[in-house]
Every structure is written in C-alpha cells, then in structure tokens.
C-alpha cells in the first residue's frame, strides 16, 4: 500500500465515519462534537485542496476537488443541523420562560384582586397595649 492509497483510504474512512457521526441522535446539540467534526472537515478540505492525495496526479487531480467539495457540502449540512437544533432549544427555553412569566402574572393579578381573608381578624392584634 502506497502513501497515496493510505491517504485516500483515510479520507474515505473519514467520509464514512462522518456519515455515522452525524446520524447519532442528539449529537447535533453538542457544541464540542459539532466543533470537532467541523474542524476535522475544514482540515481535510484544506489538505485536499492544497496538497491533494499523492496518487491522484494528472487528470485524476479533479477527484481532490470533488472530495473536498463533498466535505464542504457536509460542513454546510452540519451547520444547518446544529443551527436548527440550537434554535429549537432556544425557542423551547423561551416558551418555558413565557409560560412561567404568564403564571407569575396570573398569580399576581389574582392576589391583587382578592383581599386576604384574615386581614380583618388581625386588625389590632399586633398592638400589645
């Protein structure tokens, strides 16, 4: 196995692993996982475009660009999935905060409308003389 074969298999292995990793439920909510996958994608893209796979020479150099562009598409898909998951999480938090705010407002409004039942019984009890 030559160096070019090893690099080609490593890049194809990363593409396969990338497909598996992005299909794990809940992984799109993890910022650390998202950033590590994106950094690896960008590193592989940069290496393919600047150096390329050694055994792909001549007219085969176009495959470096094709694989790099495939990884660019994956990078955009990861960003879209992470953004959608983050947006959904923030909307859920916002909905929870709105519901809590409505509960507090309703409790305050109900407390302001009805007098406390023991207000009349306590008149004068606080004064010891």
pLDDT value of residue 39: 93
Task: State yes or no: pLDDT of 4 exceeds 90.
Answer: no
- The percent of residues in the chain predicted with pLDDT above 90, rounded, is 12
What are the domain boundaries of the chain? 3-111
CA-derived radius of gyration, the chain: 30
Regarding predicted confidence, which is higher, 111 or 2?
Answer: 2
The DSSP annotation for 1-21 comes to --HHHHHHHHHHHHHHHHHHH
pLDDT for the residue 97? 82
Q: Is the pLDDT of residue 122 over 60?
A: no
pLDDT at residue 128, rounded to an integer: 58
pTM of this prediction? 0.64
> Per residue in 61-91, pLDDT tens?
898 899 899 999 988 988 888 888 888 888 8
DSSP category for residue 24? S
Q: Which of 2, 11, 37 is CA-nearest to residue 23?
A: 37
Of 6, 15, 80, 79, the C-alpha closest to 44 is: 15
Q: How far are the Cα atoms of 47, 49, 55, 58 from residue 62, in angstroms, in the given order? A: 14, 10, 12, 9
pLDDT for position 28: 72
- Helix orientation angle between 62-113 and 31-50, rounded to the nearest 10 degrees: 160
């Amino acid at each position: 196995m030559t160096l070019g074969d090893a690099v080609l298999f490593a890049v194809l292995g990363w593409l396969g692993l990338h497909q598996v990793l992005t299909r794990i439920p809940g992984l799109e909510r993890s910022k650390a996982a998202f950033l590590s996958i994106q950094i690896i994608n960008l590193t592989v893209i940069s290496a393919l475009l600047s150096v390329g796979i050694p055994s792909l020479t001549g007219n085969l150099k176009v495959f470096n660009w094709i694989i790099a562009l495939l990884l660019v598409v994956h990078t955009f898909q990861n960003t879209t999935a992470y953004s959608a998951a983050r947006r959904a999480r923030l909307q859920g938090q916002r909905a929870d905060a709105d519901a809590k705010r409505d509960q507090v407002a309703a409790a305050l409004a109900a407390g302001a409308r009805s007098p406390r039942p023991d207000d009349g019984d306590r008149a004068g009890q606080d004064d010891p003389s």
